[in-house]
Amino acid sequence: VPKSQRTVVFVLGGPGSGKGTQCAKLVEEFGLVHLSAGDLLRAHMKSGTPDGQMVADMIKDGKIVPSHVTISLLDKAMADSGRKAFLIDGFPRNEENRAAFEKQTQIQPAFILFFDCPEKEMEKRLLGRNEGRSDDNIDTIRKRFKVFLESSMPVINHYKEQGKLRSITADRPQDTIYTEVRKLFQEISV
């Protein structure tokens, strides 16, 4: 698929806001390709490459991995899929990520799906998740919240100003949320 024909929706929201959960439902109904930047980075850190340890240390500390690492992983995953419509989950996380992705891929997102969730609810979910993630402990969770507010909210505000933000109240039952989410994808034909 030529790169110029790619359709991308960025799925953003705080740690534990439900990005992965809702993306899984969208994949099932619409057959989009779900690329979680965090999942790609976690696979990369286990791959034994030289920068794997750096990525592992940054994730454990809730820090944003350098753009070139994340963008390479996303770009490769898009190419390898042979498909044209993508949900990019958990990226871009700061203004530098956003600018570098646009510059390198020439892709402008169709829209941004934003899960708006109070910290207390996100904290409860992350502490209850039990998937063995190195960053699901209270110290790292607090760092992730701080990074989200300071670095990721400016990206969300940027897209809000562009009129591309589709904001969803995320502290509700999964199925209630999905009823709203799916409407956004029926309207654009991806």
Chain centroid to Cα 18, Å, comes to 10
Structure tokens at 71: 């963008």
Which residue lies nearer to ligand UP5 by CB, 5 or 21?
Answer: 21
Q: Is 4 buried (19+), middle (13-18) or exposed (0-12) by CB count in 10 A? A: exposed
Strand, helix or coil for residue 114? strand
* Residue entry with tokens 């562009």: 162
Which residue lies nearer to ligand UP5 by CB, 8 or 70?
Answer: 70
Q: How far is CA 180 from CA 45, 102, 121, 166, 170, in A?
A: 35, 28, 20, 10, 11
19 near ligand UP5, judged by CB under 6 A = yes
Which residue lies nearer to ligand UP5 by CB, 90 or 109?
Answer: 90
Binding partner of residue 59 among ligand UP5, Mg ion, none, CB under 5 to 8 Å per kind? ligand UP5
Binding residues for ligand UP5, how many (CB under 6 A)?
Answer: 30
Interacting positions 5-34 with Mg ion (CB under 5 A): 19-20
Interacting positions 56-85 with ligand UP5 (CB under 6 A): 58-59, 62-65, 70
Nearest residue to Mg ion, using CB?
A: 20
In the list 34, 44, 98, 125, the residue contacting ligand UP5 (rule: CB under 6 A) is 125
Structure tokens at 6: 């790619």
User: What are the binding residues for ATP?
Assistant: 16-21, 129, 172
